[in-house]
A and B are shown apart, each in its own frame.
Chain A
């Protein structure tokens, strides 16, 4: 089974040299820690920064310089600032190569829900609806089951949707799943996790073809 860093490391395998990448809040943010040495990837922060650097050294925080999670960050040589309309302009125009975000639920049709639990928790969609409506390459990073032990990988989402038919891949503590027209195709198992365990934790249609390999890291 993977921990949060393991999920992030698994997703980092999707990075390619020259990619512009938008990482959501939570597990997706950790993907930045696993960018392979020598690979040039630019991180887009939708509050208006391309080329996001690491957190500042203690005492060097700049209140005017934050990421979309409102965390203090730094720039890198070549970083650019822009306003929010241009930020979502580049997202809508499909300039961002990879988008990683968290979710409360994902359906086998690639629908995603991550912004609202009616009558309970209303935090808002932030930039998530814009990202999922426009990005071609969307990977969801999340836990396979919720705290109550219920599957988050569903036939149909029960919570208000963030976007429809947009998710391409889901990476959880148990598995890597690809969304296909027929359902969730099981691509890889997390180390030490059996196909049976993944089946039990998945409510959506799971497609298992042949031997399912354990995840491999370089």
Chain B
């Protein structure tokens, strides 16, 4: 039925197809944890990871990748975490071969690996990053954007003039897995996000060949208002509940009470 079901928790290889369908609901995409949801993720994979800074990152998927020790990863993510959290953990372990991001200023280890040539890096405009995800999820091979025209981002890229403006042709991302973090979800894979932790998560969820969503709360189908679902479950292959989210704050800024 879908890529996630048969490899799900509890499945034993001895079951015939009809038994499988009687025992397991075909639309049950629920896995027990990050490790089981990412069990088939191999070295050399291209991944998308949601989040903006440390806000809305798939913490548990990242931890599982650290635990698995998967190497030679290509990671598409707006940022690269900080030295000791988020994607910074994978960088420390040298698990990332190539990084595609828009802003990496919060991670000293990243900058060191980049300047020393250990890490391959493609820096692209944030809107281009978002829209290349969008294109993938909408089944469109490419987009035109004015971002980066006249800069080194445009080098080697096809351009086209519409009206009085020049646009760059940018292709849709082609990622093996998308790892996203949502607030709530159900076993059908329907997802709802909270506040600005939404950011790239729904776009990447729609763009992955295999999309793995970690959620704070797994609810029964029907509990989410159909009008308020951000990503329809058709885009999501695997889902699990993450516990004890750290949700680290990068820049704690407050008004002092007088």
- Tell me whether A and B are bound partners: yes
Q: Is the CB of A84 within 8 A of B195?
A: no
* Contact (Cβ within 8 A) A83 B104: no
Q: A48-B196, A83-B199, A134-B147 are in contact. Are A127 and B102 (CB under 8 A)?
A: yes
Chain A interface helix/strand/loop/mixed: loop
| Contact assessment for A85 and B195 in the assembled complex, using a CB-CB cutoff below 8 Å | no
Give Cα A58 to B255, complex, Å: 6
A164 touches B150 (CB 8 A): yes
Q: How large is the interface on A (under 10, 10 to 19, 20 to 34, 35 or more residues)?
A: 35 or more
Contact B127 A83 (CB under 8 A): no
Bound-complex Cα distance A119 to B162 (A): 35
Query: Is B131 at the interface (CB under 8 A from chain A)?
Result: yes
Contact yes or no, A49 B196, CB < 8 A: yes
Interface residue stretch chosen among B17-25, B30-38, B47-55, B66-74? B47-55
Q: Assuming A66-B55, A164-B151, is B146 touching A92 (CB within 8 A)?
A: yes
Contact A58 B254 (CB under 8 A): yes
The reply on B256 being an interface residue by CB < 8 A is yes
Which of B111, B127, B197, B256: most chain A CB closer than 10 A? B127
Q: Residues of A contacting B255 with CB < 8 Å? A: 54-58
| Count of inter-chain pairs, beta carbons less than 8 A | 189
B102 touches A71 (CB 8 A): no
Query: How many residues from B make CB contacts under 8 Å with A?
Result: 60
Do A126 and B253 touch (CB < 8 A)?
Answer: no
For B249, give its contact among A55, A61, A133 (CB under 8 Å).
Answer: A61
Q: A123-B104, A126-B126 are in contact. Are A56 and B254 (CB under 8 A)?
A: yes
Question: Smallest distance from the beta carbon of B132 to chain A beta carbons, Å?
Answer: 9
Q: Which residues of A contact B252 (CB under 8 A)?
A: 61, 71-72
Q: Which of B204-258 contact A (CB under 8 A)?
A: 230, 247-257
Is B106 interfacial (CB-CB < 8 Å)?
yes
Please tell me if the beta carbons of B123 and A124 are within 8 angstroms of each other in the complex.
yes
A47 B196 Cβ-Cβ under 8 A: yes
Neighbour of B130 across the interface among A84, A124, A133, CB < 8 A: A84
Q: Which residues of chain A are near B129, meaning CB under 8 Å? A: 84
Answer yes or no: A42 CB below 8 A from chain B CBs. Answer: no
Min CB distance, B33 to chain A, in Å?
A: 22
Chain A contact residues, CB within 8 Å of chain B? 45-49, 54-73, 75, 81-85, 87-89, 91-92, 111, 115-116, 119, 121-130, 133-134, 160-165
Chain B residues packing against A (C-beta within 8 Å): 52-56, 78, 101-106, 111, 114-115, 121, 123-131, 133-134, 145-153, 183, 193-203, 230, 247-257
- Please list the 3 inter-chain residue pairs (A to B) with the smallest Cβ-Cβ separation, ordered nearest first: A88-B127, A130-B127, A123-B105
Contacts A87-B127, A163-B150 known; list 6 others, CB within 8 Å: A47-B52, A56-B255, A83-B200, A125-B124, A129-B148, A162-B151
Mind listing 12 A-B residue pairs with CB under 8 Å?
A48-B196, A56-B255, A72-B254, A83-B130, A91-B127, A92-B127, A119-B115, A123-B111, A125-B103, A128-B125, A130-B125, A133-B147
